[in-house]
A and B are shown apart, each in its own frame.
Chain A
Amino acid sequence: MTYDFFYKLFGSQVIAAIIQSLLPLFVFILPFALFAVWLERKVSAHMQDRLGPMRVGWHGWLQTVADILKLIQKEDIIATANDKPLFNLAPVLVFVGTYAAFAAIPFTSAFIGSNLDLGVFFIVAVSGFVVAGILMAGWASNNKYSLLGAMRSAAQIISYEIPTVMVIITIVMITGTLNLNTLSQLQTGHFWNWMIFGGPVFGVSKFLMIPFMIISFGIIYISTLAEVNRTPFDIPEAESELVSGYHTEYSGMKFAMFFLAEYANMFAVSAIVTALFFGGYQSPIGYIGHLLGLPWLVPIEQLFWFTAKGLFFVFVQMWLRWTLPRLRVDQLMTACWKYLIPIAFADLIIIGLITLI
């Protein structure tokens, strides 16, 4: 594991722990956010028959770097009516909530921030900080659009947490573990051992489970999409009615932090879906490292597969954003409370009965 490696290298637990906790941020989230923002603009452009950014670098791939440089230079505007301490703290709190989730996500078998036994439960818990941060941003902005956006966002995240947790309970019921690392290890072998195909145990129950697992996957994907405030669930920042929701008043680096948190969150929920249903970091077709007898190659391959699966779901999120229109507030709540929660509940009971067979 990486922690032991750094501990041997520096001989200090504190330094090793700090490096371990900063690794996902600098090695993964920042490059990912740069790439994902560019990808989003390219995806949206090509879906609307445009080209998107083309000027900076090959097909505009340095556009995000240029944007970041611009954002750093911007003046940090704080209006006199803003509540200054809370206004400054809010982007940090939102990012803390998002980044804490990465502590429990296994990137490869060799790297997990903290091998928590309560992994998924922990991730659900820290999302509470995101809600508190968004409400803080909305209130401290002292602007009715910001406050309305924050209220809508908080109501939405809290409502859609219920179907998410129900699907997580379904998976926990089958596998008996909350640890995402163990969960990924269980789904080893080939792709038919993934949870979406009924899990690693071969038998009648596996085939009975497949349709219900697909339903579960649909529910968790829709509800996590709502939790990260993406279209079709983006009424918290609906441009046509609320300017830009809870980050209307933010400029410069503070806006960039909200933006970074949003993209980090998109990857985090994709990673959770991947770890729960699509084998986490496991390869669908076996490892080249095992084939060639090079054991050090396996974690690198696993990192590749994990990133590829995560990026695929991020791409689907973007695809949906530029395909579907926005839901109204009442439709949003109806979709959650009248459809997703009852379906998730029935699904939970049926899968529970199947596991008893």
Chain B
Amino acid sequence: MSLYDIIFYLFAAITVLSAFFVVTTRNIVYSAYYLLFTFFGVAGIYVLLGADFIAVTQLVVYVGGILILLLFGVMLTNKITNVQIKTGTVKLAPAAVGVALLAGTLFAGLLNTNWKTFVADVPASTAHTLGLLLLQQYAVVFELLGILLLIALIGAASMARK
């Protein structure tokens, strides 16, 4: 087992274990902080795959944005001075069926897809290539997505003002 493998299994273990604790822990603030480690593990796996730009973007968007928003939401909307914020389990049977179906579909997809595997050089940096692709080949899609996000932002702000 090479160093690369050890690091991969380390990050994989962090991701899977913390994701497991996100759903099982009772305290919702703990869940949010376990999610931090999940995001961190996923970012580490991206780095190992040579996708440096996606890894850093993962940190910016999920740790710096979504997680902080989540924590704000949890801390501002509940009684915060004593730990009353719990997650619970309801409707176990339908949930189990749903999860089983989803897992079955994913596994079937995973096993039956004819994955193209070929040895490729890990690019030194992906930012340059990604930037060129986004602003040349996919410029229209990129701009449209930007406008979509802007609309969502303005909408949220105008709703918050009411």
Contacts and interface: CB of A to CB of B under 8 A. Distances in A.
A158 B68 contact: yes
A154 B68 contact: yes
A124 interface: yes
A118 B68 contact: no
Contact of A118 (B33, B52, B71): B52
A178 interface: yes
A136 B60 contact: no
Given A132-B63, A154-B68, 4 more contacts: A128-B59, A128-B63, A135-B71, A135-B72
Given A125-B63, A132-B68, A136-B33, A118 B127 contact: yes
Residue from A83, A116, A135, A154 with most neighbouring chain B CB atoms (10 Å): A135
Nearest to B66: A128
A131 interface: yes
A142 to B, nearest CB: 7
List 10 tightest A-B contacts by C-beta distance, closest first.
A128-B64, A117-B125, A125-B59, A128-B63, A125-B60, A125-B56, A135-B71, A118-B56, A121-B56, A122-B56
Interface stretch (B75-83, B87-95, B96-104, B141-149): B75-83
A300 interface: no
Interface of B: 3, 29-30, 33, 36, 52-53, 56-57, 59-60, 63-65, 67-68, 71-72, 75-76, 80-81, 83, 124-125, 127
A13 interface: yes
Nearest to A122: B56
Interface in A256-284: none
A228 interface: no
8 contacts: A118-B53, A128-B65, A128-B67, A129-B36, A132-B33, A132-B67, A151-B75, A158-B68
A118 B125 contact: yes
Interface string A141-155: 010100100010010
A132 B36 contact: yes
Contacts of B68: 128, 131-132, 135, 154, 158
Interface in A144-170: 144, 147, 151, 154, 158, 161
Contacts of B124: 117
Nearest to A83: B83
Contacts of B80: 139, 147
Nearest to A116: B52
Given A118-B52, A118-B125, A118-B127, A135 B75 contact: yes
Given A118-B56, A128-B63, A135-B68, A147 B127 contact: no
Contacts of A122: 56
B127 to A, nearest CB: 6
B3 A13 contact: yes
A126 interface: yes
Contacts of A86: 29-30, 33
Nearest to B36: A132
Nearest to B75: A139
A129 B36 CA distance: 9
A357 B76 CA distance: 49
A20 to B, nearest CB: 15
A127 interface: yes
A14 B33 CA distance: 29
Nearest to A144: B81
Contacts of A161: 64
Contacts of B83: 83
A127 B64 contact: yes
Contacts of A147: 75, 80
B25 to A, nearest CB: 11
A144 B75 CA distance: 12
Contact of B59 (A13, A126, A135, A154): A126
Nearest to A17: B3
Nearest to A13: B3
Contact of B60 (A14, A89, A121): A121
Contacts of B33: 86, 89, 132, 136
A88 to B, nearest CB: 13
A131 B64 contact: yes
Interface in A294-333: none
B34 to A, nearest CB: 11
Residue from B33, B57, B63, B75 with most neighbouring chain A CB atoms (10 Å): B33
B81 A129 contact: no
A62 B12 CA distance: 46
A158 B60 CA distance: 11
Contacts of A178: 127
